[in-house]
Amino acid sequence: MIITDDANLTRILDTHRIIAMVGLSARADRPSNSVARYLLARGYTVIPVNPAVSEILGQRCYASLHDIPVKVDMVDVFRKADDVPPIADAAIAIGAKSLWLQLGIINAAAAAKASAAGLDVVMDRCPKIEYARLFG
């Protein structure tokens, strides 16, 4: 389902606590790093997916979603919209519950495919911003 309402955003942020962050940067000045720090501080498990580094924010990095050895609730994407289709396919394949595309990232075809596979899909929103707005 494509999620746009506050009730479902709240449900996702309340229950999807293990987040694979695709495109998480090791650079502290990057938005993805700030979002990961924020979510970690609020008790989420953040799993970096970045083949270029081995660790970010004290968390082991994985080269791909398929390499993560635990069940992932949410796949949070910090990549350009054209990169989303294979990420959506991988999110479906690993049994993620949701696919979250960050601010400015919209890919209707990938969203429709993930939604049809049963994932909750959020586009063009940031979990850090939505968490602060919904939970204070």
For 128, the token pair is 């850090």
Q: Give the contacts of 56 (CB within 8 A, at least 6 positions apart).
A: 24, 25, 26, 33, 36, 48, 50
* Mean pLDDT on 109-114: 98
* Mean pLDDT on 81-103: 98
pLDDT of residue 92: 98
**Residue 136 predicted with pLDDT over 90:** no
Fold category of 6-135 in CATH: Rossmann fold (3.40.50)
* 17-74 per-position pLDDT tens digit: 999 999 999 999 999 999 999 999 999 999 999 999 999 999 999 999 999 999 999 9
Nearest to 18 by CA among 90, 95, 93: 95
pLDDT of residue 1: 83
